[in-house]
Amino acid sequence: MRIVTWNLWWRFGPWADRQKAICSVLRGLRPDVVGLQEVWSADGTDLAEWLAGELGLHHAYAPSANPTRWQRRLGDDRVGIGTAVLSRWPVLERAALPLPVPPALDDGRLALYARLDAPGHQVPFFTTHLTSAHDAAGVRRAQVEALQDLVAAHRHGTAFPPVVTGDFNAGPDSAEVRLLGTGDPPLRDAWDQADPGAPSATWDPTNPYLSSTEPARIDHIRVGPPGPGGLGRVRAVHRAGDGPVDGVWPSDHLAVVVDLES
């Protein structure tokens, strides 16, 4: 089972050309499930719906309840932003959880749960986008705790372990991300289980959309303990979207791709 997480950089930059590049990368990856952050919506549709139609996938989209701060950056209050899941299999149920945040930092970030009707075992899948403020580690910790509660509420009724994806805006050694490994169930880092030494930065200065930055891995896929027979065990992990498509880089983030035993 191939899992992808990707922050799509909303409608910033050459978004119409980037949209085509994003679709091209995903088509080449042939994912089974994708967690998407910074997904635009406008004129009665959204990018997740468009991608699902192009790729022949099901989808679930959860709009931000407070997009105002985003819209000010873009200068357009007609465009919404949200979080989404694409799936090869039908979405049986879904739930969106607004993440806790002080009013001064509230830009409508959330966690999205989708239960997927995969062959043999239903998959409890989660994707999220934590606050990006540099001095807000405590806020992200509270958001991770809320995410853990969401996982605990929806992980049951299947042998497949919960899969948690997203842009956490924090590195793997940060206190808020390490907290994911201490819950019930512990959510383990896919990179640590597959190839800890491989290039893993998803916020990378080789990307021309980043003016200056240090390489960082802020986009993560975490998986609960494997089920019977190694169900959900991490087999491989790598990055994608790490170069231009027809001269256009798809996003300011690189994607993370994980293959799980199914």
Q: What is the pLDDT of residues 134-155, one digit of tens each?
A: 899 999 999 999 999 999 999 9
Residue 212 has pLDDT above 80, yes or no: no
- Using pLDDT thresholds of 50, 70 and 90, give the confidence band for residue 211: confident
- Using pLDDT thresholds of 50, 70 and 90, give the confidence band for residue 18: very high
What is the mean pLDDT of the segment spanning 161-170?
Answer: 98
Query: Sign of the C-alpha dihedral, residues 126, 255, 3, 138?
Result: negative
Do the Cβ atoms of 98 and 147 come closer than 8 Å? no
Do the Cβ atoms of 223 and 161 come closer than 8 Å? yes
What is the mean pLDDT of the segment spanning 122-132?
Answer: 98
DSSP secondary structure code for residue 116 in this structure: E
Whole-number average pLDDT of the chain: 96
pTM: predicted TM-score of the whole model, two decimal places = 0.97
The pLDDT score that the predictor gives to residue 196 is 87
Domain ranges in the chain? 2-260
The pLDDT score that the predictor gives to residue 134 is 87
Residue 39 has pLDDT above 90, yes or no: yes
What is the CATH number that goes with domain 2-260? 3.60.10.10
Distance (Å, whole) CA 8 – CA 127: 13
pLDDT per residue as tens digits for the range 48-92 = 999 999 999 999 999 999 999 999 999 999 999 999 999 999 999
Query: Sign of the C-alpha dihedral, residues 183, 132, 221, 60?
Result: positive
